[in-house]
Structure 1
Amino acid sequence: MRENLTSVSSLNMAFTDSMKPTDLSADKKGIKRKNWRRRIGFLLKTNSSQPILRLVKNRSYRPSVDDVNQWAQSLDKLLGHKYGKAAFHIFLKSEFCEENIEFWTACEDFKKLTSRKDLVSKANSIHEEFIRSEAAKEINLDFHTKNAIVQSLHAPTPTSFLAAQKKVYSLMENNSYPRFINSDLYKELCAAAKGEGKHIKS
């Protein structure tokens, strides 16, 4: 679905829609920055009755300077903070590789399951969405890792996707994460946390 860059009618749309490559003109950086600013507006919205990703119910939320500074310490700290994870998701969408964080998140949820029925259902869902060839959100994995997952689908365990999850984490840590920390998006989030981002509008 093509994201409407001039008006986003719901918080859900802010995270489920993404720009297609065809939406990017020669001024790609300018469009990306505009996209980031609109999404930041949703993240920082102070009068929302439905805070982004339901971080805090029925009250506004703004990251502190300490929060934002911690995100630059490690990918683990970034992903461990709901707001930071949401911001990183936005950044990955701008780079058209959000499948990595979505797969990582799905694996985190998968590891918490206890019943065999739930494990089987979720394992097949993850395989269908991220692992199989030409999947809608296929992640970049080697044949050996993919094959091991396929072999485990009939009797999955909480660790069935662990190897794949580690590979995707390493990919984000070594590639996307450094770019995020050096991006205009992160700089604007830092400014907003310091109270310097009042010019950012939703």
Structure 2
Amino acid sequence: MPVKCCFHRSNAGETMAWSESVDTVLSNKEGLAAFRTFLKSEFSEENVEFWLACEDFKKTRSSTKIALKAQKIYSDFIQADAPKEINIDFHTKNDISQNISEPTLSCFDAAQSSIYCLMAKDSFPRFLRSEMYKELVKKHQDRNQKRWLPFL
């Protein structure tokens, strides 16, 4: 999924804006780091790692690199007993397995979309309710407050 959101706000406003969508978190360096840490605490960081690997893969232009990167993504996330195996349906996994010998830039799109939806509907709402997110928002609010206090 292409990242659609980009915000130019204060840190506190930016942190609060993360609640608007998973795209907002994924497109922000600090938001992405916080979300990854949260997913790691839930033992599901492979989802965001796969999503990021797919985003990088889609920017590849060299056919040699396409084949190499596709094989790496496949062996890291898709094949049975992969070290960071993602949870995708049998048909998607099977389609990728059958086509990995001649990969295209869209060969992981269905899996990436599935993982994106899983993060957006499952992990992301839990992240927004987490202490980690609440502490980040508070930290940024406190930092902003201190910045403006001398002018009050």
Q: Shared fold by TM > 0.5?
A: yes
TM-score of the superposed pair, with normalisation by structure 1:
0.65
Superposed, which structure 2 residues align to 1:58-137 within 5 Å?
A: 64-137=11-84
1:112 is matched by which residue type in structure 2?
K
Using CA pairs under 8 Å that are at least 6 residues apart, name the structure with larger relative contact order, 1 or 2.
2
The DSSP-based 3-state class of the residue aligned with 1:134 is coil
Take 1:194 and 1:173, find their aligned partners in 2: how far apart are those partners?
25
Take 1:116 and 1:158, find their aligned partners in 2: how far apart are those partners?
10
1:184 is matched by which residue type in structure 2?
E
Q: Residue 148 in 1 paired to residue 98 in 2? A: no
Q: More helix by proportion, 1 or 2?
A: 2
Identity %: 49
**Equivalent residue in structure 1 for 2:140, among 193, 196, 201:** 193
2:118 is matched by which residue type in structure 1?
L
Deviations 1:107-148 (A, max 9, x none): 000000011100100000001000011111100011110111
Unmatched runs of 5 consecutive residues or more in structure 1: 1-62, 197-202
Superposed, which structure 2 residues align to 1:148-187 within 5 Å?
A: 148-187=95-134
Take 1:66 and 1:117, find their aligned partners in 2: how far apart are those partners?
43
Q: State the 1:195 CA deviation.
A: 2.0
Take 1:67 and 1:152, find their aligned partners in 2: how far apart are those partners?
40
Take 1:183 and 1:114, find their aligned partners in 2: how far apart are those partners?
39
Report what 1:27 is aligned to.
none
List 4+ stretches of structure 1 deviating above 6 A. none
2:84 is matched by which residue type in structure 1?
K
